[in-house]
A and B are shown apart, each in its own frame.
Chain A
Amino acid sequence: KQEVTQIPAALSVPEGENLVLNCSFTDSAIYNLQWFRQDPGKGLTSLLLIQSSQREQTSGRLNASLDKSSGRSTLYIAASQPGDSATYLCAAGIYNQGGKLIFGQGTELSVKP
């Protein structure tokens, strides 16, 4: 059974810092690894999707990496801004099960001005 874990559960940083959010998963039989952002009281916004054959994806100040062999993914946020404050969720898309997503518990990020 796939389990996804995110560390840390919460993180507070000053504006301008570079930071790394960690995600680990127990079963390497995945379609993909997807990172989401969730603002309070809102739905999920897709940030990056890394297919199982890929090593990383980049979008603006965000870079996500995937290492299937070690069961890890990281989300790197460069030059953090107060508007980056949100909960970040990673989810593993399960192979041969319709790509259903198994989510971690999330990292709550606060970027202080």
Chain B
Amino acid sequence: GAGVSQSPSNKVTEKGKDVELRCDPISGHTALYWYRQSLGQGLEFLIYFQGNSAPDKSGLPSDRFSAERTGGSVSTLTIQRTQQEDSAVYLCASSLNSGGETQYFGPGTRLLVL
């Protein structure tokens, strides 16, 4: 079956604009995770969903970042009033559940804020 997909693959935006990043998990996977990979910080956890609920938002860097998941499937990560330090690759992963199953990653969205 299809893997995790993310869109867009690349996004260039101007400082201060809002952006939306989309993740389509593997069908049947109830857990969905967002991570960010940047040169200075490596790969860091942002938020995870079990179903449509987000039990852990502790990794979101600021209140400019938010995420939602609808229908237990697609998730959207929104960054408001983007800053240059938001430039990074945003990776989404899904797993069967949030009990320590293998996480499968999408190809990522490369965000550049000018």
Kindly supply a per-residue 1/0 record for chain B positions 32-52, scoring 1 wherever the CB is within 8 Å of any chain A CB and 0 otherwise.
010100000011110010100
Interface size on B, residues (CB 8 A): 26
Q: Which residues of B contact A32 (CB under 8 A)?
A: 100
Residue of B nearest to A99 (CB): B100
Q: Are A99 and B101 neighbours in the complex by a CB distance under 8 Å? A: yes
Q: Which of A48-99 contact B (CB under 8 A)?
A: 49, 51-52, 89, 91, 93, 95, 97-99
CB distance from B49 to the nearest CB of A (A): 9
In the bound assembly, the distance between CA atoms of A19 and B6 in angstroms comes to 34
A43-B105, A98-B55 as given contacts; A51 in contact with B100, CB under 8 Å: yes
Report the Cα distance A93→B48, complex, angstroms. Answer: 13
Contacts of B101 in A (CB 8 A): 99
Interchain residue pairs with CB less than 8 A apart (27): A31-B100, A34-B102, A34-B103, A42-B107, A43-B106, A43-B108, A44-B105, A46-B102, A46-B103, A46-B105, A49-B102, A52-B100, A93-B103, A97-B56, A98-B33, A98-B48, A98-B55, A98-B56, A99-B100, A100-B33, A100-B59, A101-B33, A101-B45, A103-B43, A103-B44, A105-B42, A106-B42
**Taking the nearest CB of chain B, how far is it from the CB of A5, in angstroms?**
11
Neighbouring A residues of B31 by C-beta, 8 Å: 98-99
Chain-A contact segment, one of B12-20, B71-79, B91-99: B91-99
B65 within 8 A of partner (CB): no
| Chain A contact patch, size range | 20 to 34
Partner of A43, one of B50, B56, B91: B91
Nearest B residue to A49, CB-CB:
B102
Most A CB within 10 A of own CB, among B59, B100, B102, B104 = B100
Q: Roughly how many angstroms separate A93 CA and B100 CA in the complex, as a whole number?
A: 6
Q: Within 8 Å CB of A93, what residues of B?
A: 100, 103
